[in-house]
C-alpha cells in the first residue's frame, strides 16, 4: 500500500478486523497497528516508544481504565486510544528462570536493567474513520 501524508487511506476491511485483534499495516512509510474494540477502530504507530518493537505483536486489553497495549519485548504499556505511555519498561528479568544458567540470568538481569534506563515515549496515534466496510487512516 502507499499513501500521501494527510490523506485518508484504506488499511483494512471492518468486517475482517476481529474485535481485540491487532493488525500490522505498512503504508506511506508508516508502520501501523490497527485494531477494533467494541465497534470502534484505532490506529497507532506499530513501533514501541521504547525500543521500537512491533506493538501489534503485543497484547491488547480492554480494562476499566481504557484500552491498554503491552509491548511484547520489555512490557511497556500504552493507552490504546491515545498512544500515551502508561508504564514501563519492566525493570527485572523474567522470574521463571530456574533452569537457566547463572551466566544467562546475569545477562538477562543486565539487559533488563539497561533497557529500563532507556526513556519510553508516547507513540503516535492516527485518526481513523470507516467508509462503508473500509477502515481508513489519515496519514
Ligand atoms: S521495545 Fe517496547 S518496551 Fe522495550
Return the best residue to mutate from 56, 71, 87, 94 for the ligand 1 pocket (most ligand atoms within 8 A of CB): 71
Instruction: Report phi then psi at 111, rounded to 5.
Output: -60, -45
Distance separating alpha carbons of residues 62 and 85, to the nearest angstrom: 16
Q: How confident is the model at residue 60 (pLDDT cuts 50, 70, 90)?
A: very high
* Nearest atom, ligand 1, residue 115 CA: 4
The order of strands in the sheet holding 59-63 is 59-63, 66-70, 77-79, 85-87
Residue 10's pLDDT is 96
55 close to ligand 1 (CB < 6 Angstrom): no
Q: Look at residue 118 and tell me if it is in a domain.
A: yes
Residue 134's pLDDT is 97
Q: Look at residue 71 and tell me if it is in a domain.
A: yes
Nine cell digits for residue 89: 519498561
- Atom 4, ligand 1: residue with shortest CA distance: 74
Range of the domain at 111: 8-138
* Nearest atom, ligand 1, residue 76 CA: 3
Of 106, 128, 119, the closest CA to residue 10 belongs to 128
75-117 pLDDT, tens per residue? 999 999 999 999 989 888 777 888 889 999 899 889 988 998 9
Q: Look at residue 52 and tell me if it is in a domain.
A: yes
Q: How many domains does the chain have?
A: 1
Q: Look at residue 95 and tell me if it is in a domain.
A: yes
Q: Using DSSP bridges, classify how beta strands 30-37 and 40-45 pair: parallel, antiparallel or unpaired.
A: antiparallel
Higher pLDDT, 5 or 29: 29
Residue 98's pLDDT is 81
Distance separating alpha carbons of residues 65 and 132, to the nearest angstrom: 30
Residue 1's pLDDT is 52
Q: Look at residue 1 and tell me if it is in a domain.
A: no
Return the best residue to mutate from 31, 33, 53 for the ligand 1 pocket (most ligand atoms within 8 A of CB): 53
Q: How far is the CA of 53 from the centre of ligand 1 (A)?
A: 6
Q: Which residue has the cell 502507499?
A: 2
Residue 53's pLDDT is 97
Q: Look at residue 2 and tell me if it is in a domain.
A: no
Q: What is the CATH number of the domain that holds 23?
A: 2.102.10.10
Q: How confident is the model at residue 11 (pLDDT cuts 50, 70, 90)?
A: very high
CB atoms within 10 A of CB 99: 6
Q: Look at residue 99 and tell me if it is in a domain.
A: yes
Q: Look at residue 69 and tell me if it is in a domain.
A: yes
Amino acid at each position: 500500500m502507499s499513501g500521501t501524508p494527510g490523506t485518508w487511506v484504506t488499511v483494512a476491511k471492518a468486517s475482517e478486523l476481529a474485535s481485540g485483534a491487532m493488525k500490522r499495516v505498512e503504508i506511506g512509510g508508516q508502520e501501523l497497528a490497527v485494531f477494533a474494540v467494541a465497534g470502534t477502530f484505532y490506529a497507532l504507530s506499530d513501533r514501541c516508544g521504547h525500543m521500537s518493537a512491533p506493538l501489534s505483536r503485543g497484547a491488547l486489553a480492554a480494562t476499566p481504565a481504557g484500552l491498554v497495549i503491552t509491548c511484547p519485548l520489555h512490557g511497556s504499556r500504552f493507552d490504546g486510544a491515545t498512544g500515551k505511555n502508561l508504564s514501563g519498561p519492566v525493570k527485572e528479568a523474567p522470574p521463571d528462570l530456574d533452569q537457566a544458567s547463572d551466566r544467562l540470568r546475569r545477562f538477562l538481569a543486565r539487559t533488563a536493567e539497561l533497557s529500563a534506563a532507556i526513556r519510553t515515549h508516547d507513540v503516535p496515534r492516527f485518526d481513523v474513520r470507516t467508509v462503508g466496510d473500509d477502515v481508513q487512516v489519515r496519514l
